[in-house]
A and B are shown apart, each in its own frame.
Chain A
């Protein structure tokens, strides 16, 4: 089975532009989460979607938005790019329900990420 796939793998944008990143979860996974990882730091939670609805949002500005499609794939959009948005954007999916399993035990499966550079 294919893992979580993300596209594009690398992209370069300039300040003020907009970017769309895409994620396909593992087949059968209905929950998708997005994370931002700045160089030298751990990933930071941006959004979670489950059954096409937003179920969680991290501390990110409104320039960040996302959606989930009927086939459970997802897109992350970032408007008005800033230099500080340069990061690795990671997508993760979970097998069971919202939390990936009972009582917070579920495993998250991550893609390899989309590396965004803002010049």
Chain B
């Protein structure tokens, strides 16, 4: 699986939008972009995934660059409960059930 690069940490104010970047310059055509987050003292939880087009769900939006070498997870209105480590992960079309996690981005949300 190709590698991703994320900032170690980011800060946000409550109720403001947050844009979490991820670089994946070696992404292949069959790689899906997945985002998981891990709240303190919990296991990771799925946030969103996409292939080429931007995606929206109840938790977040995923904006994917046209060349697919980068993507951005967007939290439209950060809450204190969004403070977590966010992981950007690539999964190939033929991948098995395992994920390759990096160190992720630790998001702090200030009231």
Contacts and interface: CB of A to CB of B under 8 A. Distances in A.
Interface residues on B, range: 20 to 34
A35 B93 CA distance: 21
Contacts of B101: 35, 42-44
Contact of A43 (B32, B44, B45, B49): B44
B25 to A, nearest CB: 19
A50 B93 contact: no
Contacts of A113: 42-43
Contact of B92 (A41, A92, A104, A107): A104
A14 to B, nearest CB: 25
A108 B42 contact: no
A103 B91 CA distance: 9
A8 interface: no
Interface residues of A, number: 32
Interface of A: 4, 31, 33, 35, 40-45, 48, 50, 55-56, 58, 90, 92, 94, 98-100, 103-113
Given A103-B30, A113-B43, 14 more contacts: A31-B97, A33-B97, A40-B103, A42-B87, A45-B99, A48-B97, A55-B96, A92-B44, A92-B97, A99-B96, A103-B93, A104-B94, A105-B91, A108-B36
